[in-house]
Amino acid sequence: MELNRRTVIAGAAAAGIAATTLGTGSAEAASGGRKPVKELFGKLADGTKVYRWSLENGGTRLRVLNWGGVVQCLEIPDRKGHYANVSLGFDNIDDYVAKTPYFGALIGRYGNRIAKGQFTLDGKSYQLSVNDGDNSLHGGKQGFDKHIWDVEPFTKGSDVGLHLHYTSVDGEMGYPGTLKAKVTYTLTKHGDWRIDYEATTDKATVVNLTSHVYWNLGGEGTGTIEDHELSIAASRYTPTDSGLIPTGELAKVAGTPFDFRKTKTVGRDIRAGHVQQVQAKGYDHNWVLDKGITAKPEHVATLRDPRSGRTLKIATDQPGLQFYSGNFLDGTLTGTGGHTYRQGDALCLETQHFPDAPNHPNFPSTVLRPGQTYRTSTIHTFGC
């Protein structure tokens, strides 16, 4: 039986339970909002300072870097009130610069892949930075995850959060137009983590922003997520070729390992031998959400760890959700808790428009023009 999260937090506070992973305060402190706190996290090779912002509200603790807007730590309680960091990451900036597979990062200018790094817009062809075989992935060699963002903390009513700003100049990584991006991270009084994305451009361009948090609701470094239970409200998905580029088909999930319309464990069908799983080494696909594009965020996915009782519910206004099962974690990365990350030790649920949409007219458009404002929101609701 799932307990009311606020009841668990209140009980933990009464018992004086403290954080168990990277925590600096008691559960009692975490049950109320706290003004964001800034501290030095490290320095880049050129001496540029990288800062970390810590904020708490409603029982959720969030730590964010101005480097790539990275979520370095996200702590929530289990059914007994014990806290754990449920996102993969590093404890130093050098690893984020040199090694990270986008742990916790803001992704742009275009989340996911664009075939051969090429697209045509208004009759003009563009060549993007290629960094994934022949393809462009997550904005290219120096996407939004590899830049310093300007950070402005805020408190508004019972909410606390951060406004993050980055300007991508015309031609950066091959993309047309100067794009001004603003991303807002908000922790609500109930402990929800909300992301609001905005962007404007001075030339026609394509844009697809997302967040690349690696989730393990048992706690980072605790092992496999194959026993996590997952549901996705999607009747179709976009199959890919051997380079993980969508073929253009919107295939039915019925009768395949890609059917998560009813809750099942991540590992139940992950080794079913479906050709799409073989070439992706697991799940690394875009699910076509049944709701389509909506005016406001709607619930599309639920993830639950049966051992700890922690749950994550995701609501979005986007038409797609990329589910990646941590296939390329190979034991060479050591995380914040001192443990190595191996294949299947975390998963990603990235709300988005579809991969390679600029090259598929039948996919929802990702074109942004001058005078328009790109806006999208995703809400993460935690329970136990």
Please give the positions annotated as active site. 212, 350
- In this structure, what token pair is assigned to residue 11? 């009980």
Residues 6+ apart with CB under 8 A from 157: none
Residues 6+ apart with CB under 8 A from 363: 246, 248, 353, 354, 356, 357
By the 8 A CB rule, do 220 and 339 touch? yes
Between CA 347 and CA 41 the distance in angstroms is 26
- In this structure, what token pair is assigned to residue 377? 């929101």
Residue 135 DSSP label = B
Select from 72, 85, 20 the least CA-distant residue to 42.
72
Select from 4, 30, 2, 3 the least CA-distant residue to 16.
30
Question: How many helices, marked H, and strands, marked E, lie in the chain?
Answer: 4, 29
Whether residue 342 is preceded by a cis peptide bond, meaning omega within 30 degrees of 0, is: no
H/E segment holding residue 154:
strand 150-156
Between CA 242 and CA 245 the distance in angstroms is 7
DSSP secondary structure letters along 342-366: -TTS-BEEEEES-TTGGG-TTSPP-
Between CA 125 and CA 123 the distance in angstroms is 7
